[in-house]
Structure 1
Amino acid sequence: MARITAGIATSHIPAVGAAIDNGKTADPYWAPVFAGYDFARAFEREEKPDVVILVYNDHASAFDMTFIPTFAIGCAEEFAPADEGWGPRPVPVVKGHPDLAWHIAQSLILDEFDMTIINAMDVDHGLTVPMSLMFGQPEAWPVRVVPLAVNVVTYPPPSGNRCWQLGEAIARAVESFEEDLNVQIWGTGGMSHQLQGPRAGLINKPWDTAFLDALTADPEMLRHKPHIDYLREAGSEGIELVMWLIMRGALGPSVRELHRFYHVPASNTAVGHIVLRPAPEQATSP
């Protein structure tokens, strides 16, 4: 039986990918950022997940204003790095897991989630930067990936509660897949940031810290946090944090926090990162 053994959340800042690609990770500005991921890189080497369900948002690379799926699941054999205007990132092609992806898609749709099924899609920094943070610069990624894209770019995005419910449904889908797989689920994006307008550069450390605290200790509150709170407190792009609730919902009612990292700034954004394990009474050992 497949099982979800861990959840990871991280920012997916494009400048972080550029720092990796251009050999700047040891520069004084960037070194503290990448040091915050030492634990996760060691964790991944130890855990050796077979598949990552990677929740992210597309940044007008695969989708545009003509086509805006709320939830889209990638079921292809592979996903090429997207050209976001300056050429694709020099990272490996992302290998999918079509059998698991189609199983999840079927399970979710029968569980009354209207998923958009994608059989050809390039993936941008929202997906590839987290992969680089966890796995460095390998010749090939050491895991298969099921991409799950969420609309948090165009209003209305899904509610935090709907994202949580999707996470619960993903967990049910994974548990019903007969192949023995070690699966992780990642939520990406955030934390507080705003890229335009009079509040461009906004970072709200107290709000971010409270969100990280609640992810472990009071997720029920986060489920029902309205969109306007994210906009007001975390900036126009802070709504990306609802994607972390898909990851959190998939882990069950209680979790153990294994690692946390928060850093300001990276580019004009707050970096947030957390590693969670389902509580022992609800987890199956890898």
Structure 2
Amino acid sequence: MPRSTATRHRQPGSLRRVTKKARGKEYQRWQWRTHRQTDTGWTTVDVELGEHLEGMRTLTLIALGELSAPLLTERYVGFYLRELDCLPAFTGRPEGAKQDAAWWVEIPSKADQPVRLRFRSLSRQTDFRRARKNIAELEASATAVWRDLSKDPIVELGRFQWLESEAQKEIDKIEEQLQTLRKKRRSGDLNQRDFEADERSCYLRLEGWETMQSTVRSRWDELLQEMLTALPRTRRDELKPRIVMLAERLQSDSKQLRKWHDDHWDDNTLRW
């Protein structure tokens, strides 16, 4: 991921907080606005993100590549900077406008690292040290948003599929062990008492893996449904196959498989 959102050409899109009314009540929602050129001219496209910026709809659209977590974090910072008179900096300069200061966001390479805000006074008349408290608070808020936006629900779906396949591998091993035990009993290499004890142990382990497999299947279904419910109704049928395909594609990603293995297998024990 980029370490900074500062670029020569400012990326398109603005983050807005809009007030809506329904049944006599007002409520606020985050909205992502872009402008696209069509055959009839420029058109404004507003994507509703929900009450919370880091909600499931936003996370799903980021996972699908339709939104950018670094860009949303940068726009989130800009949204609140406009409300702080002590921080007059802004990025970009409209024609004829005077810019005395500039700011940019440094996005960390890892989600567990903090977001940093950088400021520069172009005229050397703005002293940002007076706003240290506001800057620290905004950095903390932006870091929390960045960490939440970095969560990928499609990767989580893929993880559940991987866990299910790992459970199936163990189930297959146990079933092979049961077949071996039965052959040994028939050939007389294993007495009835030892056979029953070993068979009981196998069935207990088998039950545990089958329960685990059933649980992760249910979690997969629940997460997929949560993602689809968060999306606009008009796009659910369109996006469901894409979500499932991307989750399945992770099963052939050697780097991701290795990470899941390192995260969950410890001393021949699967922790999930």
TM superposition score category, shorter chain reference: under 0.3
TM-score (norm 2): 0.28
Q: Which structure has the higher relative contact order (CA within 8 Å, separation 6+)?
A: 1
Tell me which protein shows more helix as a share of its residues.
Answer: 2
Larger Rg: 2
TM-score (norm 1): 0.27
